[in-house]
């Protein structure tokens, strides 16, 4: 196995159209982003889902800090 060191990062490409599934958790509906592991754009889809989760969590944390003040 050959290891290649990348200086500028790896371009994951363009993610496909986001797919969602609605899941019931304790009586509340939650939207869950679905990532297909066999997709040719898996890396880009996974990165897009991760970024979306980070955005949501940061937004929620900002709202909590604002409400606490």
The rounded distance, in Å, linking the Cα atoms of 4 and 67 is: 47
Contacts of 5 (CB under 8 A, 6+ apart): none
Alpha-carbon dihedral sign for residues 56, 61, 64, 69: negative
Per residue of the chain (69 residues), what is the pLDDT tens digit? 888 877 877 677 777 777 888 878 787 888 888 888 888 888 888 888 899 899 999 999 999 999 987
């Amino acid at each position: 196995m050959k290891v290649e060191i990348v200086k500028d990062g790896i371009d994951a490409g363009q993610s496909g159209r986001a797919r969602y599934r609605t899941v019931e958790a304790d009586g509340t509906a939650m939207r869950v982003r679905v990532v297909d592991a066999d997709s040719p754009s898996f890396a880009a889809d996974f990165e897009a889902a991760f970024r979306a989760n980070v955005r949501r969590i940061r937004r929620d944390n900002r709202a909590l800090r604002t409400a606490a003040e």
